[in-house]
Structure 1
Amino acid sequence: MIGIFRKRKEVKIIHRYINERVAVFIDGGNMFHATNALKLKINYRRLVEILRKDRWLLRAYFYTGIPSGDLPKEVREQLRRQQGFLNELQNAGIKVKTIPLKKTPEGYIEKGIDILIATDMISLAYKDAYDTAILVSGDSDFIPVVEKVQEIGKRVENASFKKTSSYELRKVCDEFVLLDNIKHRFTTPLIPPKKEEEKSFVQKMKEFLKNIFGVKR
């Protein structure tokens, strides 16, 4: 009897377009901070395929900042590795968009990426290039952008790791995917687990005798 007074869990109704077209917008900096903390490496091609599901993909975009100008040796080496990674994304069919990093006394910082993503999301929405935008970021600064895209008549899905996810952003989007729950499908550990050291013959014999006869040697 008491059960009828329990508060029912709200179920979010998800509406989809017929022959739905999607575009994926990946905030590289936001994803880097999340995966760096979790010690994971992302297969972005696989991630895009998971998020698009069986829908028609316009394009996946990856946004990041790169250092420029007169760079110290260690930064040049970092840039070389970054460029190799960005080339891999391009070869995987993901369009890379970059802006120069701002140099400060504390180091290089990323400025303007959110504006670049917002511009593309809204511009492509106005051009009716997609039905649903998939925003891969947890940055709450995107809330006004999401609402504007929705006003144009488009859906916005959000995907992010819990580490860098904004509750307010998740709430305003039409659908949310917590990447932590499916990370085994598109990530690998940055530091491979240590292999168990080979046991000596004597150790193996001790364990064998203990398990079979309960004998200690």
Structure 2
Amino acid sequence: MLGIFRKKKKETKIVYRYPNEKVVIFIDGGNMFHATNALKLKINYKKLVEILRKDRWLLRAYFYTGIPSGDLPKEVREQLKKQMGFLKELQNIGIKVKTMPLKKTPEGYIEKGIDILIATDMISLAFKNAYDTVVLVSGDSDFVPVVEKIQELGKRVENASFKKTSSYELRRVCDEFILLDNIKHRFTTPLYPETEKETNKDLFAKFINGIKKFLTRSKK
């Protein structure tokens, strides 16, 4: 009778490795932006790619994002200029950038078609046998059927994302999951370092100085 109350052992996925494993990395820029913006972090994508590729042969890393187009307000044009500078930096470090126009709505600009573009490239390269393992940097559950199709082609799929935008369904279906929150110190810096909260060391120093001033006044 007591056996029914025993906890089931947690299933662990077996990680298989290919000899001379070829890997491709697909980064969902919009998904990463929402996560890092909420966490107030800035990503060093060169370091991130190196972490995710491990000791494997990297075919290429892709970065996907939407960009505004058409007759743009001044503030949007200024933002676009910064974005294009950022995308140029990515290309300079060897990351292939792919973009699509953002869709304008009464509420602002939204991404449309980015997930389809990523999915098409992932499946296309899988059919061409260009890689053994694909690393999908996104938390979007829409990629679940894409992952399953790629696995049917005999490829491994790893998923990397921040907890803030991570999908349980996507994590579950992939062969391996990397929680970026656990390793963020290796590839991120604070987005606004000058406005960071005081560290415990700073607060302790202020506390000690306050006591010293109080004791000085008490002696007078």
Give the structure-2-normalised TM-score: 0.88
**Residue of structure 2 in register with 1:100 after alignment:** 101
Label 1:185 to 1:216 Cα distance change in 2 as closer, same or farther (>3 A).
farther
CA contact (8 A) 1:63 1:117 kept: yes
- The number of aligned residues is 209
SS at match of 1:41: strand
Q: Secondary structure in 2 aligned to 1:158?
A: strand
AA in 1 matched with 2:60: R
Q: 6-15 vs 109-118, which deviates more?
A: 6-15
Task: Give the percent of matched residue pairs that are identical in Structure 1 and Structure 2.
Answer: 79
Q: 2:25 maps to which residue?
A: 24
Q: Tell me, in whole angstroms, the C-alpha distance in 2 between the residues paired with 1:177 and 1:152.
A: 22
Q: Classify the secondary structure of the residue corresponding to 1:184.
A: helix
| Residue 168 (structure 2) aligns with | 167
Task: Name stretches of at least 5 consecutive residues in structure 2 with no aligned partner.
Answer: none
Q: Secondary structure at the match of 2:69?
A: coil
State the distance in 2 between where 1:163 and 1:204 align. 39
> Measured at CA, do residues 191 and 6 of structure 1 come closer, stay the same or move farther in structure 2, by a change above 3 Å?
same
The alpha carbon displacement at 1:194 in A equals 5.3
The aligned counterpart of 2:133 is 132
Where in structure 1 are there 5+ consecutive unaligned residues?
none
* Deviation (angstroms), 1:183: 0.3
TM-superposed CA distance for 1:6, in Å, is 5.3
SS in structure 1 of the partner of residue 78 of structure 2: helix
Q: What does residue 34 of structure 1 align with?
A: 35
Aligned to 1:48: 49
Deviations 1:8-52 (A, max 9, x none): 332221111111000000000000000000000000110000000
The SS at the match of 1:49 is helix
Any idea what SS the aligned residue of 2:142 has? helix
Partner of 2:122: 121
Alpha carbons of structure 1 residues 7 and 68: separation in structure 2 relative to 1, 3 Å = same
**Which residue identity lines up with residue 40 of structure 2 in the other structure?**
K
- Deviation readout 1:69-117 (Å, 9 max, x if unpaired): 1101000000000001001100111000000001111111100000000
Query: Hey, what's the Cα distance between the residues in 1 that align with 2:152 and 2:186?
Result: 33
Query: What secondary structure, in the 3-state scheme, does the structure 2 residue paired with 1:48 have?
Result: helix
What is the distance in 1 between the residues matched to 2:109 and 2:9?
49
**Cα distance between partner residues in 2 of 1:205 and 1:33:** 43
Q: TM-score, normalised by structure 1?
A: 0.89
- 2:212: which partner in 1? 206
CA distance in 1, matches of 2:141, 2:135: 15
Give the secondary structure class of the aligned counterpart of 2:96.
strand
- Show the counterpart of 2:144: 143
**Is 2:14 the counterpart of 1:8?**
no
Q: CA RMSD in A?
A: 2.5
Measure the CA separation in 2 of the matches of 1:183 and 1:71.
35
Please give the secondary structure, in 2, of the residue aligned with 1:114: helix
Contact 1:206 1:216 in 2 (8 A): no
